[in-house]
Structure 1
Amino acid sequence: MATEKYADEIRFCASCAKMCRHVCTSGTITKSESATPYGRCLLAYYIENGVLEPSEEILDIMYQCSTCGLCQANCLLDYDIPKVVETLRANLVEKGLVNEDAARLAENAEKEHNPYGEPHSERFSKLKAAKETNPEVIYFVGCTSAYRNPEIAEAVLNILDRANINYTILDDEWCCGSPILRTGYRKQARELMKHNQEMINGMNAKIVVTPCAGCYKTLKQDYPEQGFPLKAEVLHASEFIQRLIDKKKIKLDKKIKKIVTYHDPCHLGRHSEIYDAPRKLLEQIPGVELVEMEFNRENAHCCGSGGGMEATYPEIAEQAGRRRVEEAKETGAKIIVTCCPFCKKQLLKVSDNEIEVYDIAELLSQGLE
């Protein structure tokens, strides 16, 4: 089985003191021992050693996970349990055990090149973006910014235009593959990756910029791991915008007198260790007061929408999102700022209009005179 490479992790996790149980996004909501990192790893151990056969019940447990990585942040041995979960999901898919909601994401991506199943021809129909033939920068928009949160895409475009950046968007951008890969559909994810790699490398651009934490992690880490390395440097929009400020290409002059708190996206924070860049940007906006939630940086709670859980178990995802909104409100902040369209979409959905939710690109775009 493909999980053999994680045999040590599985064995030690099964006999550990299991402090991860107390922080698990889904485990603390469902109150199910099976839905904790320890429970999932124990099931993987039993399957690996022939004690259990894969089943529909095990399938359900494996998809009750946002792969947020909070378990790994609280693991004394720093084991990559999210990777174990992703691998076991892929094994289950290969055996024909299918979560219908996860399968639908893969089917949509095959047909329309996005997990939402929206027409590919309309991906950028509302965006007025540059399409240079020899760009220095490729702006990788991502599916959620394109189809669900176009205000984020427009904010990034405004910043790029104001800085006079020689950039382009891809005429035929496909899903980066993140939600498809996380849910176990590796073959389909690799097809998406191969297409995007050929498009990006064919342009010889120096930098790929994306506002999506999931796209960032996938382009930067998963593409080379899966055999599709990119020639260009991959930067999250927060990193790239800070470079523009440092080079004095843009200036945050407009005062925004607001108390804000920052939500660390799992893919940008724990998975990519980018914590300071977004906070530094917020602190440079005149008038903005940044206050931290109790659980922040590597200990930040997940919004619930990652790892396909928003599609497979939306009720668990929503409870996770509501918990995060309550933590934000406790700070006295009027705005939650995040660096991921997926996080914004989820937090906005459960906020009940009691607190505003912005992507950092939106706030920075507003801060430009």
Structure 2
Amino acid sequence: MAEDKKEAEKIGRCAMCADMCKYSCPTYLATGRETLSPQKMARLIVYNEKGFLEDEKGFLDLMFQSAMCGACSRHCIYDDYDLRKFIHQARVKAFERGIIPEDVKKRLETFKKFGNPDGERELIDKGAGEYGYFISCSSYKDQELLRATEKMLSKSGLAVRRFGGGDICCGAPLYYAGDMEGFRKASLKMKAEIERRQVRTIVVDCPTCMKMMTEVYRQSGTELDVEITHTVQFIDGLLKQGRLSSKKENRVVTFHDPCILSYDLAMFTIPRHVITRLGFNLKEPVYSQEHTHCCGGAYGAKIGDHRLRDAVTSMRLNELRNTAADIYVTACPTCKSVLSEINMKYITELVAGRIIAGR
């Protein structure tokens, strides 16, 4: 009860705040809708808990319109508060009561049938070694990304087992939809798949997968007895070992920080270190690093209102275009797909041609 009271005080404090964090919220900035600002969402959550709202379905639908990117929490004046926790709790209640948006429901039906959010697909499982490269749902569909990553892994000199596709998924779509029992099963399946392959380190290309495996799994009772590392960390290791060639480039690179990689994993220095060490000139957009803006594809929005997602995406595209860079790079396969209008590349596509074999 004391813990419940403490949590109630946190969101109550947010609901009565001056709402300055809305100016860091890409959803609010892209739409201007007050009900989508962090403070207004917190206030509606409090009102709903107290039974003040007549249209509960409308309230729950609104909870699925948050990008869940974490910008508001990053810029919150209170260190111990994350609004996403309360939005997620509302989604869990919506799922348990069967009051979820139709497109979310369809996505869950696909997951239940195929074990992933995209439908029928082949299982990829090849190679052997202490390292495992988990091919995320988002990268599975991107042949350019996979070819570049494959080239990098092949020339790294490390024994790496590649796996993904089929019914292997980190479970993030279930988590963000509020299906916690389904998510728990997905986490246990992932644990079993990793243990069966007897790898000691997992390289993941998707920040959301990494967040699930390193943070959310543990919260739901699933512990992975392996090291989880993101692609940019793996590349940084190759760089330190002298396996990446460096030559001065006249081309300018702009790096788009994925929201999860920045806000949750605090991993914004490493990709810049990689880019500059490779010899490229780096040019920052106005909103970058710990102040990045979501591409619009964060799972919260991806399974919600598509018009809302498009508005957020359009805003981010304009911010990036303003750098007039020669190359746009990111470290999230979803960001790459959503921002494809500017020929966004995944970071392995930038470095694959620079691997020095056999060193």
- With normalisation by structure 1, the TM-score equals 0.90
Q: CA deviation at 1:115?
A: 0.9
Give the aligned partner of residue 240 of structure 1: 234
Matched, 1:365 2:352: yes
Change (3 A) 1:191 1:217: same
SS in structure 2 at match of 1:219: helix
Q: Select 1:163's aligned residue among 133, 152, 156.
A: 156
CA distance in 2, matches of 1:6, 1:102: 27
Matched, 1:339 2:331: yes
CA distance in 1, matches of 2:118, 2:247: 36
Give the aligned partner of residue 62 of structure 1: 63
Matched, 1:198 2:200: no
Matched, 1:98 2:100: yes
Give the aligned partner of residue 315 of structure 2: 323
Q: Is the 8 A contact 2:31 2:311 kept in 1?
A: no
* Identity level (%): 30
Q: Which amino acid aligns with 1:222?
A: V
Alignment map for 1:5-84 (pairs within 5 Å): 6-52=7-53, 55-78=56-79, 79-84=81-86
Consecutive unaligned residues of structure 1, counting only runs of 5 or more, are none
Q: Which amino acid aligns with 2:327?
A: I
Change (3 A) 1:93 1:54: farther
Matched, 1:109 2:118: no
Q: Which amino acid aligns with 2:94?
A: L
CA distance in 2, matches of 1:362, 1:343: 14
Give the aligned partner of residue 284 of structure 1: 277
Q: Which has the higher contact order (CA 8 A, sep 6+)?
A: 2
Q: CA deviation at 1:294?
A: 0.8
Alignment map for 1:213-362 (pairs within 5 Å): 213-248=207-242, 250-253=243-246, 257-286=250-279, 288-348=280-340, 351=341, 355-362=342-349
CA distance in 2, matches of 1:342, 1:193: 21
Change (3 A) 1:254 1:109: farther
Q: CA deviation at 1:239?
A: 0.3
Q: CA deviation at 1:324?
A: 1.3
Q: Is the 8 A contact 2:65 2:304 kept in 1?
A: yes
Q: Is the 8 A contact 1:176 1:218 kept in 2?
A: yes
Q: CA deviation at 1:109?
A: 1.7
Q: CA deviation at 1:296?
A: 0.8
CA distance in 1, matches of 2:14, 2:300: 24
The total of aligned residue pairs comes to 353
Superposition CA RMSD, Å? 2.1
Range 169-178 or range 323-332, more displaced: 169-178
Q: Is the 8 A contact 2:48 2:56 kept in 1?
A: no
Q: Which amino acid aligns with 2:240?
A: D
CA distance in 1, matches of 2:250, 2:56: 54
CA distance in 2, matches of 1:255, 1:272: 30
Deviations 1:57-113 (A, max 9, x none): 112211111101111122101321112211211111112211111122222222112
Q: Which amino acid aligns with 1:170?
A: F
CA distance in 2, matches of 1:262, 1:87: 33
CA distance in 1, matches of 2:5, 2:182: 23
Q: CA deviation at 1:8?
A: 2.3
Q: Is the 8 A contact 1:253 1:368 kept in 2?
A: no
